[in-house]
Amino acid sequence: MLREGYNPFNLNKSNPLEGIDVNTICYFDTETTGLKPSIAQIVEIAAVRGEKQFYKKIELTEDTKQLIRQQAQNFERKNPFDKSVDELLQMTNYYDEKAKTTSSEKEALLRFKEFAEQSSFLLAHNAEFDMKMVNVRMKRYGIQSIKKDIPVLDSLAFSRRFFIPLLRSQEEEGSEEAKQLLDQLTTKYTKNNERRTVVSNLGTLSKALFGQIDNWHQALADVMSTKKIVEEVFALLMSKEKDQTKTPSFKKFYMKNKRAENRFR
C-alpha cells in the first residue's frame, strides 16, 4: 500500500515538485506477470536516482512456470485486452538475451529496498500499482517494507491533475501547441466533437511529448521515460514565473477532472 494519507491527486493544488532536488528522487518501475501481486510476480525492476541506475531481471518462480504451462493448454481470452503470462513476458525485457542480469525475486527486492531508501522521494508512473506490487511481494519473502517516511509521488496522477487541465486551458486560450498535444492524447470525443477522454499512460505521453516510445514496457526504458517527462516537462511547467494554475480556465478543467475522478473511486 502507499503511505498512509497519501493523496495521488494532490487535491490542494500545491506543487508536489516544489523545493525537490530531482537528483534525490528514485524513479522506479516494475514489470510483472499480472495485476494481482498475490498470484503475479515481478520479472523486471529498475530504478534511477541522479546518475545511478539499478536494474534486475528476475528469474521466474516455480508458480509462474507452472501457470505458463497450464495456460499453454487452456488459456481463455475473455476480452481482447486479456493476455497470458507468456504474452506479458514478451512485452517486457524478459526474453531479451542481451539482458543477462538475473536474480531471484527476493534478492532483487532486497537490493531495490537498499537503493530506494537512499532517496528523498519515490516516483513512478501509476505508483499505486508499483508500490502495492513491491510491498506485497516483499511481505511474501518476509522483507520489511520500504521506510514509511519516504514520500511517494505519482506522475500519472500528476498528469491527470495538473498537466491535462493545463493543456486544456491553454487550448481554450488559443495555443496551437497545446491543441496538437491534446489531439494525440484524446481517445474519445462527445457527439459534439468535444474531448471526452484524454489519456495519461506513459507510452502515449512519451510519444506525444518526444515523438517516440522506444522499448515501452521494459522496466529501465520506462523509468527513463518517466524521468524525462518529470524533469523536462512537469518540473518546467510548475516552475514558470506565472502560475498558470491560478487562471479561471485551469480551475474549470481542474474541477471537471476532480468530479470525474471522484465518480470512479
In this prediction, residue 4 carries a pLDDT of: 36
Given pLDDT bands bounded at 50, 70 and 90, which one contains residue 48? very high
Q: Is residue 247 part of a domain?
A: yes
In this prediction, residue 11 carries a pLDDT of: 45
- How many angstroms separate the CA atoms of 228 and 209, rounded? 10
Cα 159 to chain centroid, rounded:
10
CA angle 232–229–83, rounded 5-degree value: 165
Residues of the chain above pLDDT 90, percent: 49
Q: Which of 119, 150, 181 is the last residue of a domain?
A: 150
Cell 497545446 sits at which residue?
Answer: 178
Q: Residue 252: is its pLDDT beyond 90?
A: no
- How many angstroms separate the CA atoms of 108 and 59, rounded? 10
C-alpha cell at 83: 493476455
More confident residue, 72 or 194: 194
**In 3-state terms, the chain is what percent helix, strand and coil (to 5)?**
45, 15, 40
Q: Is residue 8 part of a domain?
A: no
**How many structural domains compose the chain?**
2
Nearest partner of 3 among 108, 151, 187, 157, judged by Cα = 151
Examine the domain organization and report whether 143 and 67 are in the same domain.
yes
Cell 515538485 sits at which residue?
Answer: 17
In this prediction, residue 9 carries a pLDDT of: 43
CB 33 within 8 A of CB 43: yes
Given pLDDT bands bounded at 50, 70 and 90, which one contains residue 260? very low
Cα first-last separation, the chain: 16
Q: Is residue 178 part of a domain?
A: yes
Lowest-pLDDT range, 10-19, 103-112, 165-174?
10-19
Lowest-pLDDT range, 2-11, 169-178, 203-212?
2-11
Q: Residue 18: is its pLDDT beyond 70?
A: no
In this prediction, residue 26 carries a pLDDT of: 96
The answer for residues whose C-beta is within 8 angstroms of residue 180's C-beta and 6 or more apart is none
- How many angstroms separate the CA atoms of 143 and 120, rounded? 21
What DSSP element (H or E) covers 229?
helix 219-229
Examine the domain organization and report whether 134 and 117 are in the same domain.
yes
C-alpha separations of 211 from 186, 204, 208 in Å: 16, 9, 6
- How many angstroms separate the CA atoms of 92 and 45, rounded? 11
Q: Is residue 4 part of a domain?
A: no
Examine the domain organization and report whether 138 and 160 are in the same domain.
no
Q: Which of 89, 123, 150 is the last residue of a domain?
A: 150
Examine the domain organization and report whether 116 and 200 are in the same domain.
no
In this prediction, residue 108 carries a pLDDT of: 97
In this prediction, residue 149 carries a pLDDT of: 84
Q: Residue 38: is its pLDDT beyond 50?
A: yes
In this prediction, residue 236 carries a pLDDT of: 67
- How many angstroms separate the CA atoms of 134 and 120, rounded? 18
Q: Is residue 7 part of a domain?
A: no
